Structure 1
Amino acid sequence: MSFRYRVATVFGGSGFIGRHLIKRLAKTGTVIRVATRHPSTANFLRMNGAVGQIIPIATNINDDASVAAAVQGADIVINLIGILYESGSNTFQGTQADAPGRIARAAKAAGARRFVQISAIGADANSASAYARTKAAGEQAVLEAFPEATILRPSIVFGPEDGFFNRFAAMARIFPALPLIGGGHTRFQPVYVGDVADAVMRALELPEAQGKTYELGGPRVYTFRRLMELVLAETRRKRFLVPISWSMAELQGRILGKLPKPMLTADQVELLKSDNVVQPGAATIQDLGIDPTAAEVIIPTYLDRFRVGGRYSQRAGGYTA
């Protein structure tokens, strides 16, 4: 595959989406800088390219000079950084609102030709959720600094290393029931991580993608209840699905949110009150020339490790305790 870009800087490249994107970028021959707080944690990415092609570099996204150094000489800049909950100095405001603007300003000053910002479906400046508000603020800051930037808003992203299906499959292995927050009626449109990585690549290639926002969803819409049923079917476990009222979920979120790695926060409960699906009239993943992959095709390839007896168990279908 030929590619007209020579140098790319990817912020958050060692994360879930990043590891899939780096593989694709490396095949184009592009030199890739992986901007991260801890370069040693990104060394595994080097194996995806030729010697010296993929270079982890220490970067502080809260420091103008550090960000400027990371993007110096880059043709393209991609920001994948995001958090699901606040922890210590990692705040929604700093990570999802301030940092994207800082990165975009530095990219524009460095002469980068393309910028891709990963946001999220539901980004809304008026949302009651701090996550959604700061995602929207990050988009605005990016477009103010780099009007030609492409914004990609995925729904829940799934794949072998995801934090959604894996989390609930792990819970089903331990607990007798799974929670249906708000009754489990919230709708989602899960999108495969490989399709999201392909969408980034297409956004870099297509001239018409400049300055546009795309909402990335899979081919099917599911309720939260249906997603939990999929988890149980793939792990071959029988568990109760227990509806949890919004008020009870908010209380649980406030309590669990105090843990170092919370399973649920009050802000996440607020997010769950709104459907997480592609909005009518939005530009979509299909507009980028990608036919999205259904969750049922991919999740059996990695949730089977949660089955009783493990991935290679000969236990035939049906549910177990």
Structure 2
Amino acid sequence: MNILVTGATGFVGRAVVQELLRQGHTVFAGSRRGEGLPGARGLSLDVTDPASVLRAVQGAAPEAVVHLVGIIAEAGEQTFGRVHVEGTRHVLAATPRGARYLHMSALGADEASASGYSRSKAQAEALVRASGLPWTIFQPSLIFGVGDDFFGRVLRDLVSQAPVVPMIGDGRFPFRPVSVEDVAQAFAGALDRPETAGQTYALTGPQEFSFRQLLELELAALGKKKPIVPVPLALMNLAVPLMGLLPKPPITRDQYAMLKAGNTAPSEPARTVFDLPLLRLEDRLPQILGRPAAPPA
């Protein structure tokens, strides 16, 4: 099957492309720079430019489109509305009628959310559902794997840069992280399962963690012992807007809103439908952080 993947050179995109190639598909890797990946032909594709999207689709002549492009933080013209909503609108308009369409959303997508990221994801989902295409929407929780930004950078910096580890509030916000391998297998698996068209699937891992437990796991994987100090939400509410004045804030208002909301859902039915292995965060963290794995007990 000819498949066009948008955002193909990103963290999730590379894993999805690799899995699609492993399953024998012909893959066209769409990205703003148009760089190719091993086994996949690169195509220049900027989702904010409808002409660019149309040229890429015409070049790939896809039987399926996998739309993965997304941003975590806004920067200049790269806003959530422009990338997530208008970008999705452009990709949907260019996708051939009848072609399979797989969409990367996010767990917690909600037009009433305090997070602009989550609101824009919900708005994009509404466009997908109204498209008339045979679509499948995936809503992953935090995605972990070698090269991820959250566990490999954000949490690592948080537990490493001070004598104590600051924790937002009581740290009870729940999360159910999922491996990038599971996410890639779900996307590829949907192409072989026509019954998944018109369905939305949460993608979560095998275990739920509180935010405090994630901090503890990160410390353990790094071989560090530090006290975890709760920071009252009232203080965080004052500090986060001030952090936004920094060139690269440790946490944005939007990320703060998402952390307070938590991010969890049951692993079913996606585990059964796509036969997912559901890899464990604890087993992968040492590799993510570049540490040697602990010897077996």
Query: Structure 1 length normalisation: TM-score?
Result: 0.85
Q: What displacement does 1:138 show?
A: 0.6
Q: What displacement does 1:164 show?
A: 1.5
The answer (yes or no) to whether the contact 2:92–2:128 under 8 Å persists in 1 is yes
Summarize deviations over 1:100-126 as a string: whole Å, max 9, x none: 12211211xx24521111111000011
Alpha-carbon separation, structure 1, partners of 2:272 and 2:245? 40
Q: What displacement does 1:225 show?
A: 0.2
Q: Which of the numbers 9, 18, 33 marks the counterpart of 1:23?
A: 18
* Other structure's SS at 2:262 match: coil
* Other structure's SS at 1:185 match: coil
**Which letter does structure 2 place at the counterpart of 1:56?**
G
Bigger shift: 24-33 or 126-135? 24-33
1:143 has 2:129 as partner: yes
In structure 1, stretches of 5+ residues that fail to align are 306-310, 317-321
Alpha-carbon separation, structure 2, partners of 1:250 and 1:300? 33
**Which letter does structure 2 place at the counterpart of 1:15?**
G
In structure 2, stretches of 5+ residues that fail to align are none
Alpha-carbon separation, structure 1, partners of 2:152 and 2:259? 18
Alpha-carbon separation, structure 2, partners of 1:63 and 1:304? 38
* Other structure's SS at 1:233 match: helix
The answer (yes or no) to whether the contact 2:186–2:276 under 8 Å persists in 1 is yes
The answer (yes or no) to whether the contact 1:33–1:56 under 8 Å persists in 2 is yes
Structure 1 vs Structure 2 CA RMSD: 2.1
The answer (yes or no) to whether the contact 1:74–1:111 under 8 Å persists in 2 is no
Q: What displacement does 1:170 show?
A: 3.7
1:97 has 2:85 as partner: yes
Summarize deviations over 1:64-87 as a string: whole Å, max 9, x none: 221112122111101111111110
The answer (yes or no) to whether the contact 2:84–2:121 under 8 Å persists in 1 is yes
Q: What displacement does 1:283 show?
A: 4.0
Counterpart residue number, 1:34: 29
Counterpart residue number, 1:270: 257
**Which letter does structure 2 place at the counterpart of 1:32?**
V
Alpha-carbon separation, structure 1, partners of 2:234 and 2:69? 31
The answer (yes or no) to whether the contact 2:97–2:133 under 8 Å persists in 1 is no
Q: What displacement does 1:304 show?
A: 4.4
Alpha-carbon separation, structure 2, partners of 1:10 and 1:158? 20
Q: What displacement does 1:284 show?
A: 3.0
What number of residue pairs does the alignment pair up? Answer: 292
Counterpart residue number, 2:51: 65
Alpha-carbon separation, structure 1, partners of 2:164 and 2:132? 47
Summarize deviations over 1:122-165 as a string: whole Å, max 9, x none: 00011111111000001111121144210000000001111111
Summarize deviations over 1:169-226 as a string: whole Å, max 9, x none: 2443332122211221100000000000001011111111101000010010000000
Counterpart residue number, 2:72: 84
Summarize deviations over 1:39-78 as a string: whole Å, max 9, x none: 2xx44x2x2x2xxxx1222222122221112122111101
* Other structure's SS at 2:134 match: coil
* Other structure's SS at 2:229 match: strand
* Other structure's SS at 1:292 match: coil
Counterpart residue number, 1:308: none
Runs of 4+ in 1 over 4 A off after TM superposition: none
* Other structure's SS at 1:166 match: helix
1:209 has 2:196 as partner: yes
The answer (yes or no) to whether the contact 1:12–1:80 under 8 Å persists in 2 is yes
1:288 has 2:274 as partner: yes
Q: What displacement does 1:239 show?
A: 1.6
Summarize deviations over 1:204-255 as a string: whole Å, max 9, x none: 1111110100001001000000010001111110122121222322333222
